Amino acid sequence: MTRPTPGGGDRRPALSRAIAVDPAKFAEAYWGRQPLLTRADELAGPDGFLDLLSPDAVDELLSERGLRTPFLRVANQGTVLPASAFTGSGGAGAEIGDQVVDDKVMRLYADGATLVLQGLHRIWPPLIEYARRLGAELRQPLQVNAYLTPAGNKGFATHYDTHDVFVLQVDGTKRWRVHEPVLPEPLERQTWGGRADEVGAVADGPATLDVVLSPGDALYLPRGWLHSAEAQGERSLHLTFGVRALTRYALVEELLHLAAQDQRLRATLPYGMDVADPDQVADELTRTVSALRDWLLTADPAEVAERLRARAWPAQRPEPVRPLAQLTFAERLTADDRVTVRHELRWTLRADGPEHVVLQLLGRTLRFPAYCEQAVRTALDGGGHRVGDLPGLDDDADRLVLARRLLREAVLVPA
């Protein structure tokens, strides 16, 4: 008997569930540039996206899973309600004060509030698996939210996001009005609230895209594109996959941190300088820009990459590991068992002197004798490997010691 695959067993490329165009064309013509609407019949999904999340699943999450903030947010008429409006104690043995209270949520929803289930890529198994696969294909970290809106209601006013979004319509219908950006490609700190007047003025004009999404439809929106969504004659449930990509400005920020290595750029401004005088600032600015330009020409890509790694790695978690099953597998491991690297695990392997190699992971390092390098690299190459076939070691006893350690460190998992 075959165990069902999380996410409904759909093994198509994850991106093909959200767009119907060729990925290369999507990257060239749409990614970060313009919206893309894809209808259900183009995606060829007979059940739409119900395998990822359904109204019944939403009911289960709200009533039986002990959700806490910030996994639920509630908005009414464009205003986000305080958590106290829908949370409380979990009762005897679970006296945590910010657990979601189902009857409070029900009353708010019945009165027209939109429910936003947040961080579903961490708590709902089909979405954990699908978001992992989609993030791996995009090579970007994702966040997954679900929006449940009562008939005829709009949860949020026209706004823009500072990350790209894939919208998957699960249940009901929703009308989306999309307008061109007032600030193309905004950074995370450049939120729409600081440009509310501009956003409102553009939103009053004709929309670039005015469509109703039905179950199985999908919409891609680059960051910065204005949008609002309103449920039609029935409740609406849709998923959003937010793509938290780094920008070129992240490179600039890291370069500025590294520029502190240059003594000229650490120098104190001249004695008695009036920093409010543009003429005095201009002279010093010229000298500083010149010094910065000289330093930038010597910037080390390896140092920049190391700093970007520290930002990027924590944003995307590897596939979940079941602690009890993992440890049991490690304890009973034989040379005939097969192992593979944990999906989306971030790692680098480098020499540490002539006698050791170091496996760099997020927040920790593992050190091995240099003669283990070939076996470690093979185990991490993405394929499934029989433990007894790991190369470079003298016998199965050594291979089992290495494989057990990598399993207990959650680097490898059963293949």
| Nearest C-alpha neighbor of 148 from the set 86, 220, 226, 196 | 86
Sheet of 174-179, strand order:
209-213, 174-179, 226-231
Report the SS3 class of residue 135. helix
Q: For residue range 229-279, what is the model confidence (pLDDT) as tens digits?
A: 999 989 999 999 999 999 999 999 999 999 999 999 999 999 999 999 999
- Quickly count: other Cβ atoms within 10 Å of residue 202's Cβ: 19
Report the SS3 class of residue 330. helix
**pLDDT of amino acid 5:** 42
Residue matched to tokens 């502190």: 260
Report the SS3 class of residue 237. strand
| Nearest C-alpha neighbor of 246 from the set 314, 320, 346 | 314
Question: What whole-number distance in Å separates Cα of residue 118 and Cα of residue 240?
Answer: 10
**Whole-prediction pTM:** 0.88
Domain boundaries, the chain: 14-243, 248-312, 323-414
What CATH number has the domain spanning 14-243? 2.60.120.650
3-state secondary structure 323-388: HHHHHHHHHCCCCCCEEEECCCCCCEEEECCCCEEEEEECCEEEEEEHHHHHHHHHHCCCCCEEHH
Q: For residue range 4-42, what is the model confidence (pLDDT) as tens digits?
A: 344 445 678 999 999 999 999 999 999 999 999 999 999
Are residues 246 and 312 in contact, defined by beta-carbon separation less than 8 angstroms? Answer: yes
Can you spell out the DSSP letters for 3-39? Answer: PPPTTTT--S-GGGGT--S-HHHHHHHTTTTS-EEE-
Question: How far lies 317's CA from each of 12, 13, 53, 177, 336, in Å?
Answer: 22, 20, 21, 33, 29
Angle formed by the axes of helices 301-312 and 248-259, nearest 10°: 120
Give the phi and the psi of residue 126 in degrees, each rounded to 5: -60, -35
Element containing residue 64 per DSSP (H, E):
helix 55-64
Cα-Cα-Cα-Cα torsion 378, 381, 385, 387, nearest 10 degrees, comes to 40
* Cα within 13 Å of Cα(132), Cβ side: 19
Strand partners, 340: 413
Give the phi and the psi of residue 228 in degrees, each rounded to 5: -145, 155
Would you say how long the chain is, in residues? 415
Are residues 391 and 378 in contact, defined by beta-carbon separation less than 8 angstroms? Answer: yes
**pLDDT of amino acid 92:** 85
Question: What whole-number distance in Å separates Cα of residue 164 and Cα of residue 33?
Answer: 10
Are residues 394 and 403 in contact, defined by beta-carbon separation less than 8 angstroms? Answer: no
Q: Which two tokens stand for residue 263?
A: 């003594």
Question: What whole-number distance in Å separates Cα of residue 147 and Cα of residue 236?
Answer: 8
Strand partners, 181: none
323-414, which class in CATH?
A: alpha beta
Q: 14-243 with 323-414: one CATH topology?
A: no
Question: What whole-number distance in Å separates Cα of residue 48 and Cα of residue 273?
Answer: 66
Give the phi and the psi of residue 64 in degrees, each rounded to 5: -125, -5
Peptide bond into 270 cis (omega under 30): no
Are residues 166 and 213 in contact, defined by beta-carbon separation less than 8 angstroms? Answer: no
Residue ranges of E strands in 85-141: 87-88, 99-100, 114-117
Question: Sign of the CA dihedral 271, 272, 274, 278?
Answer: negative
Q: Which two tokens stand for residue 386?
A: 């029989």
Question: What whole-number distance in Å separates Cα of residue 231 and Cα of residue 172?
Answer: 8
In which residue ranges of the chain is pLDDT below 50? 1-8
**pLDDT of amino acid 1:** 26
**pLDDT of amino acid 152:** 87
Q: Which two tokens stand for residue 277?
A: 């005088």
Report the SS3 class of residue 370. helix
**pLDDT of amino acid 39:** 96
Give Dmax over CA atoms of the chain in angstroms. Answer: 81
**pLDDT of amino acid 6:** 44
